[in-house]
Amino acid sequence: MVRTISLNTKLVTGCMLMLAFSLMLSASLLFMYGNYYLRTSRDVMLLTMFKQVLVAASDISSERSPINILLGLEPETESDARRELQTLRQASNAALDMITQPVTDGVSLSQDQDLVAAIDRVRKALVIGRADIDALIALPRAQRSADKIMQGMRDMFLAADLVRPIAVGAIAKISAEDESLAGPAMTAQMLGELRDYSGRLIAQMIPFVSTRVPLPDAFVFDLVRTRERILEVWQLAGRQGGLYAGDRHLGILRQQINARFFGQGLQIIDRAATTGRMTGAFGISAEELGERYLPTLEPIEQLRTGFLDAALNKVSEERFSALIWLVAMSITAGLLIAATSVLIVAGRYYVLQPLMMASDHIVNLSNGEAIGELVSPTNSREMLRLFDALEGLRIILSEREQHTERLKVLSETDGLTGLINRRLFDRIGHGDPEFDEMSTDVSVIMMDLDRFKGINDTYGHLAGDQVLKHAAAIVQRVCRRSDLAARYGGEEISIIVFEPDEWVAMNVAERIRAELEAKPVITPDGRRISVTASFGVAHGKRAGANWLTMVKAADAALYEAKASGRNRVCRAGGALIGANKSVA
């Protein structure tokens, strides 16, 4: 016997294969562009971390700027340099803290124990150097020797030198992640060194300028060596052909460095060194030297920051481009998968789903469940006939259910007032199991319209009906959502208040009484009919004999209210509220 394969099995198998191939293609595209985006994101993070290292190195070097000025002043002299020094020290500490803070995606210098140890060495060197400098600044100028000042400066130089291994370690990390970033990182490092060595020139001069001591030959040699190192670093940075290409701002900064630092700043140092080499008469004070020389270093700092920002912007643009491609591929993959899914759904929709839907509808109808309008999901003649027949059956069953519901409403509702009728009222009170979820601790209000027969006799039965509907409307408006009101018979209305505190029921009754008294009925011919009512309130439990006892007590209280002059609320047990009355 030949085993046959159902059309449904063939359809599902073919669709699953198509969906599998679509998922594989989409996954490969997303993997490729996702990796591209992750790589560029890591590049941005690595360059950002490296920039923070250079910021820390620059901040430490910048601490020497106000020191150069303060070493030329007496301790008690007021100067902005003191406040600037404190600000720069705080900036240096914050920059070092930023280096060791964790970064998302596992990229963090704090993971490298060697670099963490190097940062600790920088902090310790700063503590020593700052202490030496503070001690020097606190001394009178006459007691500051060139040797002490040089020692303090060497301590500060050491702190700056100790940052260099951190930068080198960061460059190594960047190169390992992306070789294309090694060049920009090394160039930024060279520009940072250019700023540091340029600052050292004046720091090497300050001990002798502030003490008016002639420059020793050994110091002149150190000064020349520092100057040569500055020129060497500048030439190396300038050989990066693409450093300024296409960036007008960086090109302007390079020109400013040539004009301000190499054209003016170095000349200031050279003149001071030449005049003070033999006699110590430098022709300029330490404060003036700092105020004239330090501003010439600003373009160097700006170029280093601007160059690194340009590199960061370039990588950020690549990351954004990668994100665009990733989003585009995600959308494409989504559309591909959606198209495949639509084909699968369409096949099942036109082959199997209509019959399955019809089967489900037949089961639901046989179980008496409510369903919406039945419409064939396809335009085939057979399915249209089948669903038309099912819709006709649904309509017949729905009409039968609606008719049954209308009969139930009619059997439980008073046609004139819209309140529930006495039959349902008694079912609730006697504890019908259908209403078990309702509270058994209740109060009953029995309400009777005063002199209603006289209204009928005077104004007619139509006016009497209008009064009844008016009273029922007030009752429904005043009662809470949880309360139930019924037309108990004739002009008598009963209310069940589901509340353990019977004074709540007393208040409900009083509000109905007051509103009924305040709002007369206006007949169609314009006559005003004043309407009042008397109320009896009793409290107890629903169900069985308890209910009958409570209704009788409320009815007795009602008659007591009428006997007391009508337009009253009387509680079973003696409390009375009404016109010109208070709670007893």
> Is 177 assigned a catalytic role?
no
> Is 13 in contact with 5 (CB distance < 8 Å)?
no
CB under 8 A, 24+ apart: contacts of 558-567: 558/446, 558/447, 558/448, 558/534, 560/536, 561/534, 561/535, 561/536, 562/448, 562/450, 562/534, 566/450, 566/451, 566/532, 566/534, 567/450, 567/513, 567/517, 567/532, 567/533, 567/534
DSSP state letter for 180? G
Report how far residue 545's alpha carbon sits from residue 263's, in angstroms, rounded to the nearest whole number: 114
Report how far residue 542's alpha carbon sits from residue 546's, in angstroms, rounded to the nearest whole number: 6
Task: Quote the tokens at residue 329.
Answer: 């591929």
Candidates 193, 301, 318, 491; catalytic one: 491
H or E element that contains 487: strand 484-489
Give phi and psi for 266, each to the nearest 5: -65, -30
End-to-end CA distance of the chain, in Å?
A: 97
> Is 513 in contact with 546 (CB distance < 8 Å)?
no
Query: Residue 581 burial (CB < 10 Å; 0-12/13-18/19+)?
Result: middle
Report how far residue 464's alpha carbon sits from residue 470's, in angstroms, rounded to the nearest whole number: 10
Report how far residue 84's alpha carbon sits from residue 66's, in angstroms, rounded to the nearest whole number: 7
> Is 540 in contact with 549 (CB distance < 8 Å)?
yes
Closest of 553, 579, 550 to residue 566, by C-alpha: 579
Q: Which residues are catalytic?
A: 491
